Amino acid sequence: MFSLEGKTAVVTGGGSGIGRAIAGLFAQQGAQVIVADLNETAASEMVAHITGNGGRGIAMVANVADQTQLTAAIESAIAKVGRIDILVNSAGISHIGRLDTTAEADFDRIVQVNIKGVYNAMHAVIGHMKDSGGGVILNVASVAATLGLSERFAYSMSKGAVVSMTLSVAKDYVSHNIRCNCISPARVHTAFVDGFLARNYPGREKEMFDKLSKTQPIGRMGKPDEVASLALYLCSDEAAFVTGSDYPIDGGFVRLNT
């Protein structure tokens, strides 16, 4: 079960965090993985990790916010590998601030990466998927899309847009055998979390880490590998009857805190 043998997947943001975990698991399950990341070193290191463990990977340097560059990179990848069966949109950035403390430049940056970046990647592959008989798109949203979280105005807005785009694409392309879903993690322990705590709570990292962990009823943060396991299911043939859905993976954050 959950084999991706014979399939090719593009994972944006595949050089770090949740995207890295997804790229690694997909390769382990037999997919050829195109690791797309703005950071060339991170993408190359991830591909080295994949190939070093017997998998197949290709590094692709791309800025998801730049449609021309991203489209050209994906078209070049298709020319090399023949087809793209799976797209995972994991690239994204965070922002802390309320409406009145969010600068226009920060708002625009969130829109460019978290909203336009997802649009750009889907736009680049949708025609190919239609022509090749189908495919799977998985977008990484957030519980922030559907909950009111403090100090997350722009970030929450952007993830709400990801959920909406997911539903639209699922509806419009279901007749083309293209499935589109999204997953909504709560707090997941990645290097981003560690960096955030170090910058904002120097000397209090452990205290704040424990505090943030306990906001989730299960009592801890999620692990990137756990999110990757859900992504694997949704992109596998075992989920052939699943489309147009948003899956929370949140340690009970949404349902048990309300």
Query: Is 233 a residue of the active site?
Result: no
Considering 119, 155, 173, 233, which one is annotated as catalytic? Answer: 155
Sign of CA dihedral 31, 238, 71, 176: positive
Question: Residues with Cβ < 8 Å from 154, sequence gap 6 or more?
Answer: 95, 97, 102, 106, 107, 110, 111
Taking the C-alpha atoms of residue 134 and residue 241, their distance in angstroms, rounded to an integer, is 14
Specify whether the CB–CB gap between 92 and 117 falls below 8 A: yes
Both tokens assigned to 101? 């403390």
Taking the C-alpha atoms of residue 153 and residue 169, their distance in angstroms, rounded to an integer, is 25
In the chain the beta strands, taken as DSSP E runs, fall at 8-12, 32-37, 56-61, 86-89, 135-140, 178-185, 246-249
Question: Residues with Cβ < 8 Å from 224, sequence gap 6 or more?
Answer: 17, 18, 20, 21, 188, 189, 190
Q: Residue by residue, what is the 3-state secondary structure of 158-171?
A: HHHHHHHHHHHHHH
Taking the C-alpha atoms of residue 236 and residue 216, their distance in angstroms, rounded to an integer, is 28
Closest CA to 113 of 121, 102, 104: 121
Active site residues: 155
